[in-house]
Chain A
Amino acid sequence: MISEAGIWGIFLIPVGALAIIALVIRPLLRHHRTPVIAGLITMGALAASLVLSVWALVSVMEDGPLIYDGVTWLTVAGMEMRVGLMVDSLTAIMLVVVTGVSLTVQVYSHAYMKGDTGYVRYFAFMSLFSAAMIGLVIAGNIIQLYVMWELVGLGSYLLIGFWFHRPAAAAAAKKAFLVTRIGDFGFLLAILYLFFNRGAFIEQGLNPLNIVDIQAAAPLIAAGTFAALGGLGVTWVAVGIFAGAVGKSAQFPLHVWLPDAMEGPTPVSALIHAATMVAAGVFLIARFFPIFQASEEAMAAVALVGAFTAVFAATMALTSNDIKRVLAFSTVSQLGYMVAALGIGAYGPAIFHLFTHAFFKALLFLGAGSVNHATGVFDMRYMGGLRKVMPWTYGLMLIGSLSLAGIFPFAGFWSKDEILGHAWRGPDGLDAIVFALLIAGVALTAFYTFRMFYMTFHGEFRGGAEAEQKAQGDAAVGNPAPKPHLAESSLVMLLPMGALALGAAAAGYLVNPQVDLLDIPAHWFSYFVGPEGAKAPPLNSGLAAFAMGLSVLFIGIASLTHLKGRGAGKRVERAVQPAVTALNRRYYIDDLYEGKVVKTGFYRYLGGFLDWFDQQIVDALVDAAGWLSRNLGWAVGRVQTGQAQFYAIGASLGALAILVTYLIWS
């Protein structure tokens, strides 16, 4: 069994890598062109963390959850805030996903970022992010979790804005931080509310900040023996936590930051904005799942927001021409599936989908990066025909796409069907709505995935960066675009993709097989992560066939419109043009937030008014008082000499005079 120190090691090794890179490598090797050592340190650290994570997983499989009290961080008024460890099956799975995907992405990054002047800084930030993400999933205390939660946000901020010389990147970083912080505000209020009920927790012998204790309070709440959090109380806590998840997992209405976050380097998008950090929202709901289950209203909200987001984001992926943005919308949509699954109580399937999604989405992003290396663009209108020059990337992307579209027997098929199956079996109206939305999402997913795939790899090559620059007008870009060197990416990039492709292809069936498979028991994953006593449902083969048929149908439609180059016909195109515009403007929601709410409402009106009020009323009154006193008469006028000593002497003399008067009188 792994020791407490071993688990801490998973977290502390990347912290050490960060410290070494920031304090030693960067100051000493800043003038080297590509100080490979920074990359190697990060990779080595993550490899070590991965080994320990696997060990932790095995330990949890054998011995159940590992919970350690840890050390005291703060004690105030008898209230201990501890930094502890909570490694249950959920954490164990997350640890392997985080360290595994992170390691592959770091290897890929080494080639992708080669020659970038910020190579060292990049790996420092990556170590920081990985450490924070690990810290997030092992946290045993809600404040500790919140700390790491914000620190992954910092990592995201730093890496989105990695190329800070680009105004778009700097703005996207800020936007990501701010939008998620609105959600975090809700999370913070939930923590405050838990602490608010400290007395009630203590009565039950529980600590309101300890995650295990919060989970333990849930059955008491449901049983009605925990009055303080009964009724609406528990709903408030759940809704607050959910707000944090909505921000981090880019669910509607806080989804706006994720597409912009694509300004960061592509491996960053793969790791942070596809596989790990954005899944932290799902993790958060799962972590406090008992609390959610105690509130029907909260569960309904989670289900509806998730299901709506799944469809809503998928529609925006339909028309986007930027390959990374298609994938970003797709991520939002897939996270919607996970959130919706949690909302209808399908805990195991949600985590299963999180697991498979990490593989195929990271793979797709790395593929997009590979394509970008060859063409110099992310705009698919200037790609095309790449299957001939990049056969490996083509094949790997195909695996990722099939998995995303939920085609048998790829990983995405299994996890998505578990979610659908759960929604289908649901008894009430809510499940029906969720099911309908998620099924619609399946069709949309298949279409946008293969539209992307065909536009990128099929047809004729449409010129890459050169053509893009021409189309944008030369004035828009300062330097002439480099000639695309159409070639397959290096092995250092392909191998990590290959590793992820293995997962995207097989991880679905292998970890959660329908029947005993050699050493793997049937439904292993479901039983492992699922709440105790949960029954793993057998695959609903009729439903699975229907969903896959739908996917195949929409892949077929995508083939017609984008492979055969037929388009949809001029009439149809004209008819849908307003809709396409609305989709490309992301339903005008960003315009509403940034233009109307922030710039006009907040900055111009509220800010402008208070600014005016402060200067013209408050400060003017002060000046007027000063003017009055200056002109009140001869005596006062003489006193206003502007000599500070004079004032100080005046004050002291005044004090003395009053004292003396008093002493004489008494």
Chain B
Amino acid sequence: MNAFDGILTAVVFLPLAGAFLILLAVRGDGNARVARLIAAAVALADFALAVIVFTRFDAASSERFQLLDRFEWFSASAFTAQYQLGVDGLSAPLVLLTGMLGFCAVLASWGISKRVKEYFVWLLVLQTSVMGVFVSLDFLLFFLFWELELIPMYFLISIWGSGRRQYSAMKFLIFTFLGSAFMLVAILALLLADNVGHLDMIKLAEQGADAVRTIIPLSVVFWFFFIAFAIKLPLLPVHTWLPDAHTDAPTAVSVMLAGVLLKMGGYGLLRITVGMFPNMAVDHALAFTILAVVTILYAAVITVRQTDLKRLIAYSSISHMGLVLLGIGSIGLAGGGFAAVGLTGASMQLFTHGAITGLLFLGVGLIYDRVHTRYIPDLGGLAHRMPLVAVAFIIAGLASLGLPGLSGFVSEILVFLGAFKAYPLLTALGAFGIVITAGYILWMMERALFGPQRSRFSHVKDAGLIDAAPLAILVISVIVIGVYPAFLTDVFKAGIEPILALMS
């Protein structure tokens, strides 16, 4: 049964086409301007397409997966590989997030002066791969996009990064690669299971894979998937690649990394771990919750100790991604709708954290760009010279610590409301993370932005128009979602409910 709407194919491959266009149209490195403009135009167009995807997705429809692009890719005796793209309530908002951050990332890369053409090619390829992950509904395609993402990421960090960029890029690569290996085995096991024999994620999502007879124990398959996503998210103890990768990556890459790449892990947990193995996931809810609480608190405490702005935000990301898993833990108690609240919170957290952390990294990038240090004790009083950046940074920080009225609060409160029913004490412990978060965010702002004006920063300039545009986009998204979250939660809910319906 073929279908072709086309919009998802466009949203995925437009950046790739843009990358080819840059390769073809821009000769040499001299013409950096053209490369920048093409990249910006393509990213803006992709953002627009993502908005269209989001608005066209009908949360009230009885069709779970929509805007399908589906045809047979190749067929072998045992199975058929499909080219199958589609969105449901879970992925439609993430497409929007990727489009938004992708455009912001291009604007944040305006100041790149080294190998400009190549840089934008990789950045656009990265966007195609992430979009592909979110909309692929066939495991082979999903896995290819998942793997494709490694290549641009590796080059972006190792060539345009700073500090120990080779080491960090390699670490990122090996970790993710390791996760992919686990995932590959798990996918193959599903394919080879005697009552599956296909890679269609829609079918697997609709039936659940709890009862398939795999050649290796099903629990191994389940955990292999989990490990792959845990590395990506990341969770303890496989998180150490993240601070290194973030610290050494260029600004825009940090934005993409924290903003959307980590969300691949959370998306995988929701789509596959919970979505395809609902009953096994329910059985492991307690383990998830414990792991979540440990991750939240452990990473939060370490965040307080950080003296590098980027490292600080990186560790805070780990802590905040723990909230995603905490929300997932709410499935430990079926009934009463608490799991729906928790899972909606978890998926909301993917979106809100993406925008908030993207904004934080943009701010850090602007600060670093102007004062050439991220070492917090050397900063101070920056709000005097950079009021625009400071305001955006403060809004992002407040959103990050879950201030109501801003987006972070919505996902946090939903996660807590949902998870508290299943595991009250653990959730209360995890919720204490909001106090530690307030501590490190406010302390960071105090040290970096407030205090007397430093004479050595007297030349520092505030954000220009190109810098301010992505700040404005993300600030608006943070406030709009904080004030009126229903337009997102209603969509996520449409993605969550079919998953819950599978739980027996």
Contacts and interface: CB of A to CB of B under 8 A. Distances in A.
Task: Please indicate whether A and B come from the same complex rather than being unrelated chains.
Answer: yes
Interface of A: 72-79, 143, 146-148, 150-151, 154, 157, 161, 164-167, 170-171, 173-174, 177-178, 181-182, 185, 188-189, 191-193, 195-196, 198-199, 602-603, 606-608, 610-611, 614, 618-619, 622, 626, 642, 644-645, 647-648, 651-652, 654-655, 658-659, 662-663, 666
B413 interface: yes
B457 interface: no
Nearest to B413: A143
Given A147-B404, A150-B404, A618-B237, A76 B337 contact: yes
A655 B143 contact: yes
B446 interface: yes
B356 interface: no
A603 B337 contact: no
B13 to A, nearest CB: 18
Given A607-B304, A618-B237, A188 B416 contact: yes
Contacts of A626: 171, 174
Interface residues of B, number: 78
Interface string B236-276: 11001100000000000000000000000000000000000
Given A77-B337, A164-B383, A651-B177, A177 B305 contact: no
Contact of A196 (B181, B398, B421, B489): B421
Contacts of B143: 655
Contact of A165 (B170, B384, B427, B493): B384
Given A188-B416, A610-B302, A619-B240, A165 B410 contact: no
B338 A174 contact: no
B65 interface: no
B449 A164 contact: yes
A381 to B, nearest CB: 26
Contacts of A607: 301-302, 304-305
Contacts of A161: 450
Interface of B: 76-78, 143-144, 147-148, 150-151, 154-155, 166, 169-171, 173-175, 177, 180-181, 184, 188, 191-192, 236-237, 240-241, 298, 301-302, 304-305, 336-338, 340-341, 344, 381, 383-384, 398, 403-405, 409-410, 413-414, 416-417, 420-421, 424, 427-428, 431-432, 434-435, 438-439, 442-443, 446, 449-453, 484-486, 489-490, 493
B225 to A, nearest CB: 16
Given A76-B493, A654-B184, A150 B147 contact: no
Contacts of A189: 428, 431
A644 B301 contact: no
Nearest to B446: A170
A70 to B, nearest CB: 14
A193 B431 CA distance: 13
Contacts of B403: 150-151, 154
A346 B234 CA distance: 53
Contacts of A157: 442
A606 B170 CA distance: 31
Given A165-B450, A170-B450, A608-B305, A663 B78 contact: yes
B416 A192 contact: yes
Nearest to A626: B174
Given A170-B446, A177-B442, A663 B184 contact: no
A164 B302 contact: no
B121 to A, nearest CB: 14
Contacts of B305: 603, 607-608, 610-611
Given A196-B424, A644-B151, A644-B173, A185 B404 contact: no
Nearest to A629: B174
Given A654-B184, A666-B78, A648 B147 contact: yes
A189 B435 CA distance: 13
14 contacts: A75-B489, A76-B344, A154-B403, A164-B450, A165-B381, A165-B450, A165-B452, A167-B451, A188-B416, A191-B417, A606-B301, A611-B305, A648-B150, A662-B78
Nearest to B419: A192
Contacts of B170: 642
B141 to A, nearest CB: 12
- Majority DSSP secondary structure for residues of A touching B: helix
Nearest to A618: B237
Given A178-B435, A644-B151, 19 more contacts: A77-B337, A78-B337, A147-B404, A150-B404, A154-B398, A166-B452, A177-B442, A181-B435, A182-B435, A192-B424, A614-B298, A618-B237, A642-B166, A642-B170, A645-B151, A647-B173, A654-B184, A655-B184, A662-B192
Contacts of A77: 337-338, 340-341, 344, 493
B300 to A, nearest CB: 10
B295 to A, nearest CB: 12
A79 B443 contact: no
Contacts of A150: 403-405, 409
A158 to B, nearest CB: 9
A654 B147 CA distance: 12
A603 B304 contact: yes
Contacts of A198: 336, 338, 421
B192 to A, nearest CB: 6
A579 to B, nearest CB: 33
Contacts of B302: 607, 610-611, 614
Nearest to A176: B442
Contacts of B434: 181, 185, 188
A192 B431 contact: yes
A502 B392 CA distance: 43
A614 B240 contact: yes
Contacts of A654: 184
Most chain B Cβ neighbours within 10 Å, of A72, A199, A614, A658:
A614
A147 B398 CA distance: 13
Nearest to B432: A185
A355 to B, nearest CB: 28
Nearest to A608: B305
A199 B336 contact: yes
A205 B42 CA distance: 54
A157 B398 CA distance: 11
A74 B166 CA distance: 46
A661 to B, nearest CB: 10
Given A178-B439, A647-B173, A195 B452 contact: no
A199 B337 CA distance: 10
Given A72-B486, A181-B434, A147 B405 contact: yes
A266 B302 CA distance: 37
Contacts of A642: 166, 170
Closest 4 CB pairs of A and B: A77-B337, A644-B154, A77-B340, A147-B404
B451 A164 contact: yes
Contacts of A177: 438, 442
Nearest to A202: B336
B486 A73 contact: yes
Most chain B Cβ neighbours within 10 Å, of A170, A185, A606:
A170
A193 B403 CA distance: 20
A143 B341 CA distance: 15
B197 to A, nearest CB: 10
Contacts of A608: 305
A529 to B, nearest CB: 28
A353 B340 CA distance: 45
A623 to B, nearest CB: 9
A154 B403 CA distance: 8
A238 B442 CA distance: 29
A666 B154 contact: no
Contacts of B147: 648, 651-652
Contacts of B409: 147, 150
A654 B432 CA distance: 45
A120 to B, nearest CB: 12
Nearest to A143: B413
B337 A75 contact: no
Nearest to A182: B435
A623 B403 CA distance: 38
Contacts of B405: 147, 150-151
A626 B409 CA distance: 39
